[in-house]
Amino acid sequence: MAVTDIQHIVGSTAPARAAIRMMGTLDEAFLIDVFAAARVTAGDVAGTFTAWVNIPDILGDYGIISCGDTAAIEFLTLSVVTGKVSIEINLATALKCHHVTTNVVITPHKWHHIAVVQNASINAPKIYVDGLEVATTMTDETDNGVWFDELDLIDDGSIGAAEEAGAAGQVKECVGGISDVKYYAIELTDDEVEADYNGDATKGTTDLTRKTTITTAFTDHWPMVDLVNVITAANNGIKGATILYCNAYSEFTSRLFTSAIALLSADNVSLSVSNETAHLLIVKAA
């Protein structure tokens, strides 16, 4: 019996999140075109994207949230690149802003909350991981103030890929899990981003007027239990054919989905779970 005849997949079953499972399929994403066009129409000068991601490696370049144009190379993309979180903004084919976390911040197969915050009138974009702002390296600062108010060519959007290729379609198709994607049409404060990480951005302030402001600016939310945007029904997504919903995506789920094991009906397979750790043992048929 060869070493490869016995395969063992082990991982934690908690925390587990409702998520879409992305397999990196060419030109495929969770499409949010109506959302993208709506933010251009609104002329947002500030905004905050947040999402939970479970990425299986620190090798790939994976689009998480992106809005672009179907004809021109104009886009705004939040992505995970070789384990670092990146925000890149292109205006009318010209790169205007590109900030990347200085260090690798993603642990493979683990859930991370990521956020990008922009107030185009006073700040450059800020990146947060698991509720805390992290150091970034600016590879381009031509115009740090660009946001939807200037990106008037944008007319399509994706979760799980990047809208950076114009008519050529999606690129940077994601591999892994994406959950609980949100957009606020304001700049959240540090405390509010941390509160969003803990489940509710309004708990990041005690000021009642500010709580109302956050609630009003919370324009879109895709919890990834189905296509529904729970705040703005018109902005429901359209799911690519190979994208699957998973109601309990965990470290174990990630390791299982991204394994290269091809199961046969004659294989001997056993699954056990103890203390929130799952073990899948596969003994390949002779």
**What CA–CA distance (Å, rounded) separates 57 from 46?**
31
Residue 247 CB coordination number (10 Å): 10
Order of strands across the sheet that contains 156-159: 136-140, 94-101, 84-91, 75-81, 61-68, 156-159, 30-31, 238-239
pLDDT at 4: 62
**What CA–CA distance (Å, rounded) separates 261 from 259?**
6
Residue 75 CB coordination number (10 Å): 27
CA atoms within 13 Å, Cβ hemisphere of 47: 22
Domain segments of the chain: what residues? 1-16+250-286, 23-243
pLDDT at 264: 79
pLDDT tens, N- to C-terminus, the chain (286 residues): 555 688 889 999 999 999 999 999 998 999 999 999 999 999 999 999 999 999 999 999 999 999 999 888 899 999 999 999 999 999 988 889 999 999 999 999 999 999 999 988 877 899 999 999 999 999 888 888 899 999 999 999 999 999 998 877 799 999 999 999 999 999 999 999 999 999 999 999 999 999 999 999 999 999 999 889 999 999 999 998 889 999 999 999 999 988 877 777 788 889 999 999 999 998 988 6
pLDDT at 171: 94
Judge: domain 23-243, CATH 3.40.50.720: no
pLDDT at 150: 94
pLDDT at 121: 80
**Phi, psi for 40 (deg, rounded to 5):** -65, -45
Extended strands (E) in 69-164: 75-81, 84-91, 94-101, 111-119, 126-129, 132-133, 136-140, 156-159
Instruction: Please state, in angstroms and as integers, the Cα–Cα distance from residue 26 to each residue in 169, 170, 201, following that order.
Output: 9, 8, 35
Tell me the β-bridge partners of 207. Answer: none
Structure tokens at 217: 């600016």
